[in-house]
Structure 1
């Protein structure tokens, strides 16, 4: 199987997680960010991730891929109950976090930005959505304080470092990608349980953190 992704993309991380958790081999193919032709050829529109199955058919949508792979061997891993408090926490944080993350993503050495044209394509698209990156960066200190405060609230919700609710569930699929993205931001303060959970999930899912290129 092949999984077409962007390395920075949290939705792509969701799809990558289930392969790592189940130790199922998959070929990762990083598309250039300005490559519209490949996803359109595969599924008719520009989006990621895209799973190409063994029979050559293609499946978009991260959660559809997660469910398909999790149930493919009839031994699903994501059997735990979800905690509404995790969903509430994610909704609150997702209301502002991209204003902190996106300008940093645009400057980071991701493979999908290997050409100047691919990087500029991303910048143009995201500035149209979120506003001028230079202006967003001026608000970064306040946003870093906000997320550090919210991470302290998350710390109280983490039951175990290998599963946020004690047993692997969709909450893990939604939570870890955000924490992985946050590892791109220098200066964020992580309480111990959040840090342990993030680091452990990176190992379990075989998805690298971004701390080495944090800015």
Structure 2
């Protein structure tokens, strides 16, 4: 079984964290960001993550993949049912532009496998600059403003249930919440409240995923 993904992609992190947590035997394949052909050959669309089974069949859509991995994985590692966290996700979503302005330029600058070539970096920058409506260089210059918005959001978050406090059980809420918070760790000197840092660290450890503190810029 193969899991095609990008390291930076929050939707890919959903699949990656569950595959690891549920102990599903698989090979991780990091596609170049401009590799459209592989995606179209597998599922007919430029989309990741992609889960390919041993018989060659493949599926997309991150939450569908999460469900399949939950079914295939260890029954000794349950996935806790989700709760209503839409208000929490909306709270984070209110600073979505600031998040994108901070993360998009950093995605291509910290040595991730999907951006190993200049063409892959260029492909990403052209498309994402159109989304944030500014060049990456400008977004980086605006870092202090965007950091302030995100730090205010993080400081206002309600208590987050660290995985260690749930007897080491991953929840479907984590699948939705963790990827964005984890990606914020690529922003150097971002002030992350202790309870948010504890949440990020505990889920990272539980799911054998990595943060970006060591390469933040």
Tell me if 1:94 matches 2:96. yes
* TM-score, normalization by structure 1: 0.91
Equivalence for 2:10: 10
Equivalence for 1:145: 148
Shift of 1:140: 1.0
**C-alpha RMSD of matched pairs (Å):** 2.0
Deviation larger for 121-130 or 72-81: 72-81
Structure 2 gaps of 5+ residues are: none
Is the Cα–Cα contact under 8 Å of residues 7 and 112 in structure 1 kept in the other structure? Answer: yes
Is the Cα–Cα contact under 8 Å of residues 152 and 191 in structure 1 kept in the other structure? Answer: yes
Shift of 1:149: 1.4
Please give the alpha-carbon distance, in whole angstroms, between the structure 2 residues aligned to 1:74 and 1:118: 36
Give 1:102-141 correspondences, 5 Å limit. 102-130=104-132, 131-141=134-144
Is the Cα–Cα contact under 8 Å of residues 79 and 172 in structure 2 kept in the other structure? Answer: no
Structure 1 gaps of 5+ residues are: none
Deviation larger for 21-30 or 81-90: 81-90
Please give the alpha-carbon distance, in whole angstroms, between the structure 1 residues aligned to 2:165 and 2:93: 19
Tell me if 1:46 matches 2:49. no
Please give the alpha-carbon distance, in whole angstroms, between the structure 2 residues aligned to 1:6 and 1:181: 12
Shift of 1:91: 2.4
